[in-house]
Amino acid sequence: MRQIIMRSIFLIFMILAACGMVFAQKLVTFENGEHQYSLQYPESWFLADDEDFELYTSKDIEDRKTDGAVFTVQVSELEMDDLKNRENIFSRVMKDMNGDIQLGDLSSKYFAGTEWEAASFSVEDLYIAKAYCTVKNLKIYIIAVGYIDAASETKYSGEINSMLESFVISPIVFETIQNDELGITFQYPQHWEFQEESGMGYTITTDESASSTEDIMAGIAIGVMPAGTLGGSEEEIVKQISGSSNKIIYGPEKRDIGGMSWTYLEVTEGPNKGTIAVRATKEKLWLIVTIVNPVELEPDMEEIFMTFFNSLQFAE
Q: Of 212, 186, 82, 88, which Cα lies nearest the Cα of 136?
A: 82
So what's the pLDDT on residue 193? 92
Q: Of 134, 139, 129, which Cα lies nearest the Cα of 113?
A: 134
With a CB cutoff of 8 Å and minimum separation 6, the contacts of 204 are 188, 189, 192, 193, 194, 195, 219, 220, 221
So what's the pLDDT on residue 13? 43
Would you give the end-to-end CA distance of the chain in angstroms? 86
Write the pLDDT tens digit of every residue in 269-281: 888 999 999 999 8
Superfamily name with CATH number, domain 20-169: Mog1/PsbP, alpha/beta/alpha sandwich (3.40.1000.10)
So what's the pLDDT on residue 89? 84
So what's the pLDDT on residue 156? 93
Torsions phi, psi of 168, nearest 5? -125, 125
Superfamily name with CATH number, domain 174-314: Mog1/PsbP, alpha/beta/alpha sandwich (3.40.1000.10)
Residues of each domain in the chain carrying CATH 3.40.1000.10 = 20-169, 174-314
CB 103 within 8 A of CB 91: yes
Preceding amide of 252 cis, omega within 30: yes
Report residues of the chain scoring pLDDT below 50: 1-2, 4-6, 8-23
Q: Of 43, 68, 308, which Cα lies nearest the Cα of 172?
A: 308
Within 13 Å of residue 23, how many CA atoms lie on the same side as its CB? 2
Q: What radius of gyration, in Å, describes the C-alpha atoms of the chain?
A: 27
So what's the pLDDT on residue 15? 42
What would the 3-class secondary structure string for 145-201 be?
Answer: EEECCHHHHHHHHHHHHHHHHHCEECCCCEEEEEECCCCEEEEEECCCEEEECCCCE
Write the pLDDT tens digit of every residue in 191-212: 899 998 877 899 999 976 766 6
